Structure 1
C-alpha cells in the first residue's frame, strides 16, 4: 500500500498475535501499523473460516442481481416503478444494498444502484452487455483495498496543521461481468471459475530480487560474485517501491529462439517505475488546462515536492482502484507562486482522468531517471523502464533489481499492472537493503500486492431480448444470534 512509511513489518507467516510497546523506546509508525495489520488479519481470517470465501448475512445480504424482467413480474407498486426508473437500459441491472464478505473483506453497498452507475466504480466504462439471443454472462464482485491520502479526502487534513497526519485504507468494490460460453450453474460453467481466477490473478505472477550492488548490474552468470563495495549509497533512509506500470506476459524461452510473447522492441515490453518514498508524493489537482495543472500545494518539504524533470502520473478514483496506469508526463516547469506545473507532453485527446473533481484527481510523483546503459542503468521510454527477465537492472545509488518467474513456473510469467515490491534501504547499517536472504544471496519473492478478491454473484441469460437471472451464485449465512436461538 502507498504511504510514507519507514518499512512494513507485518508477515502473516510469522504468526504474531500482538505488538507490545516497551518503556523508554522510540515510537515508530511501523510498529503501530503492524498491530493494526495483525488484528485485521485475525478478523478477516476468522470471518473467512466462519462463512467461507464469500457470503452475506441472511438478514442483510447485499449484492443481489435484479433484472428488468424480474421486476416486471412483480405486482405494480411505487417501489417497483422507482426501481424500474433506475435502470438506464435493457442491458442494465440493479445491485441490491447490504453486506457481503469476500475473503473476509466487508463489502458494504449502502443503496440500490444500477450496474452502469456504481458509486465507487473501479474503472470506467464498464463493459456493456450485448443482448445477443441466449448469451450468457457471469456477474461477479471484484474487491481490493487501497490507500486514501489527504489529497483525495479533505476531511483527513487537520486544518490547524495544514497537512495530513495518518492516511487511511479503504475497501472498494465493483460488480463486473464476463461472457460465458456455457453453463447452467457455477459448478459447470465454461470457462470455469478456477480458470477465470487464474486469468484475473495468475499464480505465475513475476517475482523480484533486490540487492545493494556496485553499480555494474548486468548478467546473472556470476550471482555469487558480489563486489566488496556493494552497498546502498543514498544520502538517507528510503522505502523503495518498485511497481509494474504496463503489464504483460513472458512465455518460457525456447532453445535458440526469443520467448514467444517477449516483444522485440522495448516500447512494447511490460514496464516498471519506482518511488523512493513508496509513492507517497501525491498532489491534489484543482484544475487542468492544456499542459498546465494547478495544484492545491507543491509539497511540504524537499522530499515531497516537484522539480523540473520529475515524472508524474495523472490519476483519479477510476484509475487508482483497478490499478489502471495513467500515462507519465515530465514536469517541464514549476511556478511555486501560482502552484502550477507545466507537463510535457500535454495530456492528449479527450482528457477524462484528472478532470472530474468528484473522482478526486491527483498527481503522483515517480523517481526514475535515465541511467548509464554501460552499467545496466535505467533506459526510459515515455518515463518508464522496460522489464526484462533474469538480468540485474540498476535503479540508483547502488540499488539493483532482477525480475524473474516463480521458482516452479512452467508456463507464461505474468507481470500485472499495479503489482509492487517494497525494499527498505538503510544508510546507518552500511548501505544494506532489508531484503530476504538465502545463504547470503537475495531471495526472489512474489509481489507484496495489490491483491484482488473475487466472488461470483449470478449467471445471466438473454431471453427474448431481456436479461434474465439464470442462476444465483451468492451464498447466505445465518447470523450467530439466530443459530443460538435454535439451539436453546
Structure 2
C-alpha cells in the first residue's frame, strides 16, 4: 500500500489482542493502523472458522453465474465470503439488471470470451489501497480539500481460465473440489513468490558491518519507509524492480500530457533527476500492470519536462484516459535488473 505511513507494525505471530494508548505519549499512525489490522484479522479468521474458506448466505447467495449471450454472462447479486473477506455485488445503477462479465466495475476490459470454448469461471479477491488520487470523495472538503487518511477497498473480479491441453476438464465437480487448492490456487498464488534481502550501502574503504556510507541517506532525522517493488516480472536477469524511500507515496494527478511536457495537480515532492512512473487506475486493476518510466529533467511549478516524449502504450484500450497519475521513484536510472544473490545500488 503506497501510503505515507511511518511503518507497518502488525504481525499476526505476535498474537496481540489490542493496542493501549498511554497518557502523555506521542500519537503515531502505526498504533491506530495496527489496532485496525488486529481487529480485521480477528474478524476474518472468525468468519473462516465458522463458515469455511468460501460460502454465502442462503437468502442472499451472490455471484451466481447466469445466462451467457454474445460472449458475456451475468453475475448474480448478493454476498459471498472468501477466506473471511466479505464480497458484495449489487445490481447495475438502474437496480433492475445484474452486472455481467463485461460490465464489472473493478475489472475494466476483461479478456475476450469465445462462445465456442469452455472456461473455468472463478472469483479473484484482493484489497486495494485507495487515496484521493483514486477517489476524490475522501478529501476533506471542509479544510479546502487536503488528503487526510486513506482507505482500502475489497476488489472482487470474476475471471476466466480457458480449458485446454494443459488444463483438462475435470471428470466431475467433486474432483474439481479436491484439486482446487493444489492445482488451481497454487497456480495463481504460489507459496514461493520470491524473497528479498536488503541492506544499506557500506563505505567502500570499510569492512565494518555497522557502518553506512553517507550517500546511502539512511542516517537522516526524517522517518523513511522503504518500498521495493517488482516493475516488470520475469526470470532472474529479466525481471526489474523500482524503489522508494517514501513507500511510493509521492504521487500526483496528471492534468495534461503533450510530448515531453506534463502538467500535474500537485508538484510537491518531485525534483529534477528522479524517475517517475506514469499509469492509470485500469492498469492497476488489470493485475497490477506496470506503468511507463521516464526521467524528470525539469520542474517549473506544476509543469514537468520529461527526458523523452511519451505516447500511450499499445496495450491501453482507446476508451481509457492515460496517464492519469504520476508517481516518484528514487532510483537514479531506469528500473533495476533483478540479479540472484546480488544487489545493485539505486
Scaled to the shorter chain, the TM-score interval is 0.7 to 0.9
Q: Deviations over 1:456-488 (max 9, x none)?
A: xxxxxxxxxxxxxxxxxxxxxxxxxxxxxxxxx
Shift of 1:183: 1.6
Equivalents in 2 of 1:360, 1:350: separation in Å?
A: 10
Q: Is the 8 A contact 1:64 1:95 kept in 2?
A: yes
Match of 2:280 in 1: 316
Shift of 1:226: 4.5
Q: Is the 8 A contact 1:151 1:284 kept in 2?
A: yes
- Structure with more of its chain in strand, by fraction: 1
Q: Is the 8 A contact 2:66 2:74 kept in 1?
A: yes
**CA shift in 2, pair 1:294/1:329, >3 Å:** same
Shift of 1:228: 4.4
Structure 2 segments unaligned to the other structure (5+ residues): 92-97
Q: Give the TM-score of the pair, scaled to structure 1.
A: 0.62
Shift of 1:278: 0.5
Q: Residue 91 of structure 1: which of 33, 55, 71 is its match?
A: 71
Q: Is the 8 A contact 2:259 2:309 kept in 1?
A: yes
**CA shift in 2, pair 1:274/1:350, >3 Å:** closer
Match of 2:94 in 1: none
Runs of 4+ residues over 6 Å off in structure 1? none
Match of 2:328 in 1: 365
Match of 2:118 in 1: 136
Match of 1:242 in 2: 228
**CA shift in 2, pair 1:31/1:143, >3 Å:** same
Q: How many residues align?
A: 327
> 2:47 is paired with a residue of what secondary structure?
helix
Structure 1 segments unaligned to the other structure (5+ residues): 69-88, 218-224, 250-261, 264-268, 300-304, 370-379, 396-488
> 1:332 is paired with a residue of what secondary structure?
strand
Q: Give the TM-score of the pair, scaled to structure 2.
A: 0.86
Which structure has more relative contact order (CA 8 Å, sep 6+)? It is: 1
> 1:238 is paired with a residue of what secondary structure?
coil
Q: Is the 8 A contact 2:230 2:239 kept in 1?
A: yes
Equivalents in 2 of 1:333, 1:186: separation in Å?
A: 60
Further displaced range: 2-11 or 288-297 = 288-297
Give 1 or 2 for the bigger CA radius of gyration. 1
Q: Residue 311 of structure 2: which of 341, 345, 348 is its match?
A: 348
Q: Is the 8 A contact 1:315 1:353 kept in 2?
A: no
Q: Is the 8 A contact 1:48 1:104 kept in 2?
A: yes
Q: Is the 8 A contact 1:183 1:190 kept in 2?
A: no
Q: Deviations over 1:402-444 (max 9, x none)?
A: xxxxxxxxxxxxxxxxxxxxxxxxxxxxxxxxxxxxxxxxxxx
Match of 2:133 in 1: 151
**CA shift in 2, pair 1:11/1:350, >3 Å:** closer
Matches within 5 A, 1:391-410: 391-395=342-346
Match of 2:15 in 1: 15
CA RMSD of aligned residues (A): 2.6
**CA shift in 2, pair 1:93/1:20, >3 Å:** same
Shift of 1:185: 3.7
Q: Within the alignment, does 1:332 sit opposite 2:332 as a pair?
A: no
**CA shift in 2, pair 1:192/1:344, >3 Å:** farther
Matches within 5 A, 1:56-455: 56-68=56-68, 90-111=70-91, 112-121=98-107, 124-132=108-116, 135-159=117-141, 160-180=143-163, 181-189=168-176, 192-193=179-180, 194-216=182-204, 226-230=208-212, 233-234=217-218, 235=220, 236-249=222-235, 262-263=236-237, 269-299=238-268, 305-321=269-285, 322-336=287-301, 339-349=302-312, 352=316, 356=320, 361-369=324-332, 380=333, 383-395=334-346
Shift of 1:125: 3.1
